[in-house]
Chains A and B, each alone.
Chain A
Amino acid sequence: MKRRLLASMALLSATLGLSNVSEASDHADGLKTALDMTADISDLYAFTSPSDASKLVLVMNVHMLATRISRFSDRVSYNFRIRQVESVRTLKPVPGGEHLLACTFKGGSIFDTTQDATCVLDGRDTLTFRTNDERAAPRSGMKAFAGLRADTWFLSIPQTQKVINFKKPEPGAHSNSLAGMNVLSLIVEVDSNKVGGSLIAVTAETVRK
């Protein structure tokens, strides 16, 4: 609770322009995202599944101050976008043939946060599931989970503030400033062969409808 209060105060400071926004990954990175937290992406992860290398795992975390009654916005499209990469030499995403995995949510209330979620890949393959269900059935080569999770970002904010101010961080162990915080996570496994060749570029975006 204390950490949440401190984080809230930091967010207030950020929104009031009293500090240089959050120093955490992508949390509250700007006035608009600090206010519009259901659309504020805090982290993106992309990796091949440890148990099945033919699956690509995509994770988008939003809402850095999520609680047990927080929900995804029903007015935001949570998108993963994937492009082929030209070569290791340039690492440039190739514009043509982009893949879009768009996820939307509806329903839920402060009394029952369960929402109906829909993820659509390239406008064709559709997966529907309920939030907070770790055993939601896979479909169309996709499996997904969406709901409250522990924040996966860990850092010492005081040390990061030093670096941001172009000062060397202090050596030794420091405490995780985000311990105890939660986020809303959207986690989707998709068949890798549906999103292209070997080298890909992945980004996440939130688009308010």
Chain B
Amino acid sequence: MSTSRVLLGAVLSLVMSTYGCASEEEPVEDELQQTEDNLSFGYKGRVDHAGVVESTTMMLKSFTELDAYNRQDPFNINPALHAEAFRANFIGYDGIDGVTDWTPANLSLWVTRMSTGNYLVVDLSKSCAFGKPSYLDIEREQMFGTPHTTCGGRTPSEDALDVTYNLLIRGKPEKAADIGDGVDELHKAASPTFPYLAGPN
């Protein structure tokens, strides 16, 4: 892709951040729809998927692989495309504290998990303690045999990044006092009642 085309896209992306998307009702909207078409370069199909926190931005992180990863079916990702990048990064993160924490079995487990799918696991038979630790609780059972006590999944307000840091650096998906990014709560707290997320800033 030429630099000029990337520059054009970047500028247009800022236009989009201001004006949002398209509609068919007014001339100005048609122009915006055209802008959106330009930004997507006429692409049709899957643009993005989400499940595990930082699956792409930290765990895969290879810029050349991100779009290809995002285009794939999040329940059926081709492991041949990304397994080596995930493995290399997991090993790199494990070495941050100078200790090899990941067992070969758990390393293989997570390389397989992330290179074949991107999803959250939820136990509907258990209540979720809103804002309390539950993220990757079921995966913790899979890795260490400790029965999960929450619904797993992910609730707003939970510090999923610290859980991710500890998964990557210590091989354990849990929040710990001494490994984290130093930000432990939302700027605007989420609510345990519908619609859960705080209003805009």
Task: Tell me if A182 and B200 are in contact (CB < 8 A).
Answer: yes
Q: Which single residue of chain A is at the shortest CB-CB distance from B94?
A: A166
**Contacting residue for A95 out of B50, B75, B92, B123, CB 8 A:** B75
Q: Is B193 an interface residue (CB 8 A)?
A: yes
How many residues of chain B have a CB within 8 Å of chain A?
110
Task: Tell me if A91 and B13 are in contact (CB < 8 A).
Answer: no
**Contacting residue for B124 out of A48, A70, A88, CB 8 A:** A48
Task: Tell me if A201 and B75 are in contact (CB < 8 A).
Answer: yes
Task: Tell me if A50 and B193 are in contact (CB < 8 A).
Answer: yes
Q: With A29-B56, A109-B26 given, is the CB distance from A91 to B142 under 8 Å?
A: yes
Residues in chain B near residue A153, CB distance under 8 A: 161
Residues in chain B near residue A43, CB distance under 8 A: 50, 53
The answer for the CA separation of A125 and B23 in the assembled complex, in Å, is 25
Q: Is A120 an interface residue (CB 8 A)?
A: no
Within 8 A of B (CB), among A147-165: 148-150, 152-156, 159-160, 163-164
**Contacting residue for A15 out of B6, B29, B161, CB 8 A:** B6
Task: Tell me if A149 and B197 are in contact (CB < 8 A).
Answer: yes
Q: Is B47 an interface residue (CB 8 A)?
A: yes
Task: Tell me if B46 and A197 are in contact (CB < 8 A).
Answer: no
Q: With both chains docked as a complex, state the minimum distance between the C-beta of A82 and any C-beta of chain B, in angstroms.
A: 9
Pull 14 A–B residue pairs with CB atoms less than 8 Å apart, ordered by A.
A16-B6, A20-B61, A26-B57, A32-B43, A39-B40, A50-B127, A72-B20, A91-B113, A91-B121, A91-B142, A174-B181, A196-B124, A203-B75, A208-B44
Closest 10 pairs (CB-CB, A-B): A174-B182, A30-B66, A65-B17, A70-B20, A145-B195, A179-B187, A29-B56, A71-B20, A39-B47, A73-B21
